[in-house]
Amino acid sequence: MSQPWDAAHHMTLVSPRRLNRLAMPVFAAILLGSCAPLPGDRLAITEAGTYEISEIGHGSPPIVFEAGLGAYKESWNKIVPTVAENCAVFAYDRPGVGHSEPTARPRHGTIIVEDLRRLLRERGVARPYVLVGHSAGGLYMQLFARLHPDEVAGLVLVDPTHPTQFEGDGALEHRGLLAVGLASLVMTGAMKEEFDGLEETGREVLAAPSLSADIPIIILIAPDKSGTPIADFDNAKRADFARLYPSAIVREVDGGHDVPQTNPQVVIDAIADVVRKAQRH
């Protein structure tokens, strides 16, 4: 199972001499190929459709994982087994990804959040949850927490998409012809539908209530480094997370955007810290 490219962070305005660096995440995803499967894999047939899920471990609060744009739940394969030693873990593929059944429902954040909530209820995953989201999955988890704070014990955002990341200078059409061309080649199906809904999802996040300081939040930010071509306006928006979530702990992590695969221990540590704070609260 090949790991899709997370276009939400890898598209950027580049010069020709940066072509190799821009293309690298695409070809790396293809060449590295299949991530190891997650334990507890199964197909869950629900009233809303069929989902490929992974359920493993025991303990409270349960940890719910949301992958990046078009990415499989296996992107968490270096994290889930360790986290499941102390907590129940739930990961899944959104509709149209992996073996999860496609859907005709719109692919903006409110629908994605409600689909996930319904799936968690049907699977009997007990609230409140610690939500963990990477990239565009971090945008969805921001919305989940803002809309349903009573269901959330904590939040870990892993190099998340900013709510306004694709507005203004960040819009796809302003990221250069190369980015537009690559996007047209790489993004199809559910991935394209989700990308098209990111701007609306961002507006939904900002329109939702702010989060209470009682909910522990850790935000992991990967800086712009070699091999991770992210434009200056993306970095400026990442710096804005401290304003959006003033009670959050913001940690800069080494390496590029694909933190769950390249630096899984920092994610494991962040989850453990949030779980401890949630349990004390």
pTM: 0.84
- Strand boundaries in the chain, DSSP class E: 41-46, 49-56, 63-66, 89-92, 129-134, 152-158, 217-221, 249-252
Residue bearing tokens 């702010």:
210
Using CA atoms, how far residue 220 sits from 127, 223, 256, in Å, is: 24, 10, 11
Q: 204-215 pLDDT, tens per residue?
A: 999 999 999 999
Segment (H or E) for 27:
helix 19-32
Q: pLDDT tens across 35-84, in order?
A: 688 999 999 998 878 999 999 999 999 999 999 998 999 999 999 999 99
In this prediction, what percent of the chain has a pLDDT beyond 90? Answer: 62
Distance in angstroms (rounded) separating the CA atoms of residues 267 and 280: 20
Token pair 């200056």 in the structure block, residue: 232
94-103, 186-195, 261-270: which has the minimum mean pLDDT?
A: 186-195
Give residue-wise pLDDT tens across range 70-91.
899 999 999 999 999 999 999 9
**Cα–Cα distance for residue pair 157/103, rounded to 1 Å:** 26
pLDDT at 235 over 60: yes
**pLDDT tens readout for residues 176-203:** 544 545 555 666 678 888 988 899 999 9
**Does the domain formed by 7-280 have CATH 3.40.30.10?**
no
